[in-house]
Amino acid sequence: MSPRDEIERLLSVPERSVDADAADAARRFAERAASQGAAEISYATVDTPVGIASVAATSRGVLSVGLPSEAVDDFLDSLAERVSPSIVEAPVTLDVARRELDEYFSGRRQTFDLPLDWSLVPGGFYRRVLNATSKLPFGITMTYGEIAAQAGNARAHRAAGTALGSNPLPIVVPCHRIIRSGGDPGNYGGGPELKKWLLRLEGSLDD
Amino acid sequence: MESVASRDPFQRFLDEHRAPVLAFLRAMVGPVDADDCFQETFMAALRNYESLDAANPRAWVMTIARNKAIDHHRARARRAIPKADVPEVAAPAPAERDPELWAAVGELPDKQRTAVALRFAADLRYREVAAAMDTSEEAARRNVHEGLRKLRETVLREERAA
């Protein structure tokens, strides 16, 4: 081997610790970018009994919750598309939201005490439906018609369903508490099985 | 891997480039100061993320990293009193590699040092080295080859001296 080849070989030896050190440096960067507001959105994942959920927040409050049915990458792509790609993972910055979601999913919390960022919710009737839904207590359910009436239009139960289906803040704005008039839980963004699981967790559904 | 769209979440961009950026900065400013430069590099990348060159994100972030390394050298030179006590380049010596060889890289002229660090520490291709340094690919190859020639001379000289 010529000295030149040997030098190239030596220069190409990867540094053993660089991957782990870079991961650590990136974690510190992301937390700082989030806490200083340099990043517009911070997110974290939450391990729940039904899978991995995601939560994203801006400086105003919680912006979106991703249910386990949605892959974290898809959740982030959607936020990048709809709000901003200035997104970092910052579990420490989101500590309170993570803890409250964790407590809810393990049956130790009934209400959320989190500021919300409603900017993904369109105004008008949609906003009124989700606002009314956000006031529905743990363990209480309402029909689509009833929530439509709460939002000011008793006949708009279909539109209420559409508004709930677009809820960017599931769990925190408990759209799973809105069920069909016959008692059937009905559709859910995270899948009908998850809706039943949540209603059972809250004691609103037997079996 | 190369096709990071400008609308990709920043976290994905960070995860994809964090290791080569840190390796490059360690070769440029040494392991201790590399962390500060790393933080500044990604903060600048985040603030300018809208202007990301989507066709070549790695070269784009390396250009920022290179500028941070240069800023770092300048700040160091300003602080250095007397100058002789502070080496022009901090010992860039991740211990498990060949510390003497990387110290010799640190003694190379700026363009050669940068080109060698981009090529070998960050593992960039010549096309990307050229983009990061805003030169032609031919010039990038020349800088690397000239750097390697000097390193070979240094190594041979040391071997003779030993």
What digits encode the pLDDT tens for the residues B9-49? Answer: 999 999 999 999 999 999 999 888 999 999 999 999 999 99
Q: What's residue B103's pLDDT? A: 87
H helical segments located in chain B: 10-29, 31-47, 57-79, 99-106, 110-116, 126-133, 137-161
pTM of this structure: 0.88
Contacts of A23 in chain B (CB under 8 A): 18-19
Q: Is the pLDDT of residue B68 over 70?
A: yes
What does the CA dihedral B69, B75, B79, B80 come to, rounded to 10 degrees?
Answer: 40
Between CA A164 and CA B100 the distance in angstroms is 64
Q: Do B156 and A89 touch (CB under 8 A)?
A: no
Most B CBs within 10 Å: which of A8, A27, A29, as the mutation test of the B interface?
A29
Q: Which domains does chain A have, with CATH numbers?
A: 18-105 (3.30.160.70), 122-201 (1.10.10.10)
Q: Which residues of A touch B (CB under 8 A)?
A: 3-4, 7-8, 10-19, 21-23, 25-26, 28-30, 32-33, 38-39, 43, 73, 76-77, 79-81, 85-89
Residue of B nearest to A79 (CA): B9
Element at A24 (helix H, strand E): helix A18-35
Using 50, 70 and 90 to split pLDDT, how confident is the model at B81? low
Q: What's residue B2's pLDDT? A: 39
Sheet holding A62-66, edge to edge: A62-66, A51-57, A41-48, A87-89
Q: Do A28 and B39 touch (CB under 8 A)?
A: yes
pLDDT tens figures, A44-62 = 999 999 999 999 999 999 9
Percent of chain A with pLDDT over 90: 88
Percent of chain A with pLDDT over 70: 98
What are the catalytic residues of A?
A: 175
Q: Which domains does chain B have, with CATH numbers?
A: 10-161 (1.20.140)
Between CA A157 and CA A154 the distance in angstroms is 7
Q: Is the pLDDT of residue A161 over 90?
A: yes
For residue A199, give the amino acid letter. L
Q: Do A76 and B12 touch (CB under 8 A)?
A: yes
DSSP bridge pairs for B2: none
The burial class, CB within 10 Å (0-12 / 13-18 / 19+), for B50 is exposed
Q: What is the mean pLDDT of chain A?
A: 94
Q: What are phi and psi of A64, to 5 degrees?
A: -160, 150
Q: Do A33 and B42 touch (CB under 8 A)?
A: yes
Between CA A94 and CA A109 the distance in angstroms is 17
Average pLDDT over residues A17-22: 93
CB environment A84-97: b (16+ within 10 A), e (fewer): bbbbbbbbebbeeb
3-state percent breakdown (helix, strand, coil) of chain A, nearest 5: 45, 15, 40
